[in-house]
A = this chain, B = another copy of it.
Amino acid sequence: MTYCVGLRLNRGLVFMSDTRTNAGVDNISTYRKMFTWADDDSVVTLMTAGNLATTQAVVSLLDERLKVPGERSPSVLGLPSMFQVARHVGDTLREVIQISSGAGQRADSTFNANIILGGQVRGSEPRLFLIYPEGNFIEAGDDTPFLQIGETKYGRPILVRAFDPDMSFSAAVKLLLVSFDSTIKANLSVGLPLDLTTYERDSLQPGERLRIRGDDSYFQQISLGWGDALKSAFDSLPDFVL
């Protein structure tokens, strides 16, 4: 599995992904699942969950189309809107899956992957999408301002309760670390280190890009502190009268 979350805040976008990949429990590796492209007119970040061969092929194809002049159009940069970027990434994802599935394999779900895509193109708002293996996608909105892929359940309750679109990037990173820590504690298929990228609305340049390791002192402070804070919160509620 994998765990990735994209937050759509009033001041911009925040992305966090884990780095564990596994084929069974005895074949685990560390891979980056977060990628950013930028030029003068657009900043695009994507995070992947699912079949690693599929997601690496998608990212390589997006990359190559930027670098080889003849193949530049369409590419992940230079499109007129984030909707067009999402369509381009969705088309690429669907094509990669179709090629693998066409080789006589029985269950094409094996090749599936999901993508969270966010960014901004000059002249329009920052936008955040979740792209399905079929190439279609949904967009985060005011009612559903964050998107998750991979092992989404353990870390969802704290997002539902504590997310606030007005929060600072610093508070958003804290929220994401709590959500990721709850997931990592419960599920072996999600693992450290974590990748973090922020994008500040209308800046049109990539924001912070950090890797948070297990020995990071802030991560440890949150991981340990959250257990205590949760116990205090729990103790502050009245017991049931039996």
Query: Given A208-B242, A222-B237, A242-B198, are A230 and B169 neighbors across the interface (CB < 8 Å)?
Result: no
Residue of B nearest to A175 (CB): B234
Q: How far is the CA of A149 from the CA of B56 in the complex (A)?
A: 36
- Shortest CB–CB separation between residue A57 and chain B, in angstroms? 30
Contact with B along A216-242 (1 / 0, CB 8 A): 001001100111011111101111111
| Contacting pair A230 B158 (CB below 8 A) | yes
Given contacts A154-B153, A156-B186, A229-B234, contact A239 B170 (CB under 8 A): yes
Would B234 and A178 count as touching, CB distance under 8 A? yes
- A residues 122-170 near B (Cβ < 8 Å) are 153-158, 160-162, 168-170
Which chain B residues border A232 with CB–CB below 8 Å?
233, 236
Give every chain B residue within 8 A of A153 (Cβ-Cβ). Answer: 153-154, 186
Contact partner, A185, options B157, B171, B236, B241, Cβ 8 Å: B157
Q: Answer yes or no: A213 CB below 8 A from chain B CBs.
A: no
**In the assembled complex, which residues on chain B have CB atoms less than 8 Å from the CB atom of A222?**
237
Residues of chain B contacted by A177 (CB below 8 angstroms)? 240
A-B contact pairs, 10 of them (CB 8 A): A153-B154, A160-B185, A162-B234, A173-B240, A173-B242, A174-B240, A198-B242, A225-B236, A229-B233, A229-B234
Q: Give me the interface of A with B, judged by CB distance under 8 Å.
A: 153-158, 160-162, 168-171, 173-175, 177-178, 182, 185-186, 198, 208, 218, 221-222, 225-227, 229-234, 236-242
